[in-house]
Structure 1
Amino acid sequence: MPPLRTWTEGGSTPLIGGHRVFVRQDGPPLGPPVTLVHGFPTSSHDWAAVVPVLAAAGMRVTTLDLLGFGESDKPRRHRYAVLDQASLVEEVWRRYSIGSTALVTHDYGVSVGQELLARDPARITRMAWLNGGLYPDLHRPVPIQRLLHGPLGPLLAPFTTERRFAATLRTVLGRPPHDGDLHDLWVSASRADGHRLAPRLLRYIDERRVHRDRWVSALEDFAGPTLFVWGPADPISGAHVLARIRVRMPDAQIVELSGPPAVGHYPQLEDPAAVAAALVAFLAS
């Protein structure tokens, strides 16, 4: 994966909605727009190996760090609601004069995507999903997420270390990561003590239950082209989620990254070439 420093040097942090938000624009300005939304607890850097391929295919690619993540502001007492993150994406679209756009989301970002679809499905030209908790009853958080989401979360979060962070990520990946990539992920997540925000950011687990009916309807009723690029070895949102998608959305395109070895929770990190190829074929069709 391209180094974090190279990635951040290619973006800027304009003031959007009262906060500094990291945004990148890649590809030709007049190309068909596509917006990529990252997951928890990482940042837009997750897409760093995929974006150049999309840009080379002629697409205008917008990536951003959601509030509380990566290079964006990390206010300590912010509520970090998914609904607010969706509004932030809409503000970025307004700032960069992006009207209709394709949307690609992963992990936490799938909830942001579902909210955006629920608000204005006509704005989304086509939708691509990577591993995430689309159905809250199927979401299986790892033990540390359960702890950080619980009452002891604010006490435990400050003691998160790079070693523990990397160990947790390894448990959800199907393919062994490079140590340098894990280090960059930690640097991004922990910048400005961002790891301390985990209990607040993990409230998305509750929001998924609150907004379940609306968000599942947005997912399943979307009339545009839909693609799932999925790592079945993911213990959080893997093969068990894909099984329901096949039943509930039989017309959707599915690219299952079954390997060997099978991909886990981070398809764009574990097999960026396959993800990029699937996205280019889908977005350019």
Structure 2
Amino acid sequence: IYYAYSTKSDLNLSEVLLENELLRNEIEQLKEQLAWLRKQLYGPKSEKLSNIPLDAPLLPCFDFGDEVIAEEKKEQISYERKKGVKKDSCKLELPDNMEVRETIHELPEEKLIDEATGEELVEIGRESTDKLASCPAKYYIKRDTYVKYAVRNNPLSGVIQLPSADSVLKGSKFDESFMAEVVTAKLAYHLPFYRQQEMLQCFGIKIERQTLSSLFVNLGDKLEILYNEMKSLALECRYLYTDDTPVRMLEPGSGKTREARMWIYEAAHPDVPAYKVYDFSINRSYDHPFNFLKNFKGVIHGDAFGAYVKLDKDKDNASSPE
């Protein structure tokens, strides 16, 4: 009896070991498939695992049935269709009053006859596509010619002609439209003069950087009247937002730069559009905001710079009764 029992125990042990080995192999296979799934979900999409067949079941221990497989196919089809919509993903907002230049593409006359029936083709509709286009800058010579007149047989009457048109810079070779372009490129688009010079050379226009710089400075002097008017309007507003920022200034004659200051004052008034007024100084002394704001009687919004605090206290002391 003991011998028979011992043989049966050995047989059960071998079956258990075999079953454990099979289960261990299946677990390793499931781990590999799980790792592959994680790479597909969270890893780079360009990575592929070529040693697993495309038709191999990912989870052979589960039977999802035909209905689940059909649902997965539908999701895959929906995903592939979405890829084709990427061409319309470009967001472009254009003003309503933008000029539209339309080109109509028609069939030539010899193509307006159907080859099979010999009947004439008729128009049944039109299809349009809009694209944003640009026209490169165009420079031209603006020539003002003044016709001279005289009285026949009376040389004493002299020459009669219309007076020359006024110009911002008297005697300048540049029209106001070109002046505005130089200033806008410099201040709005931050293009230095050497880049503007290179851009003009593409059109065959040769102009020195010093000429552009002198033009810029002379225009600044002419615009001082407008600047003073904007400053007066800003100081009349109820609220004024202010701040300053450091800028590098080239020190004349030394070839070195030092830190200067650019002060900004933004006016806010219900009846006046918000605009900014700038003030330059070579340092951050209290005198600069004092001089700019000495006639201001409204509310200042700024940081805790000591000049604003002192200015507020001085105004309180000046307005308090003795």
Q: TM-score, normalised by structure 2?
A: 0.21
Bigger relative contact order, structure 1 or 2 (CA pairs below 8 A, ≥6 apart): 1
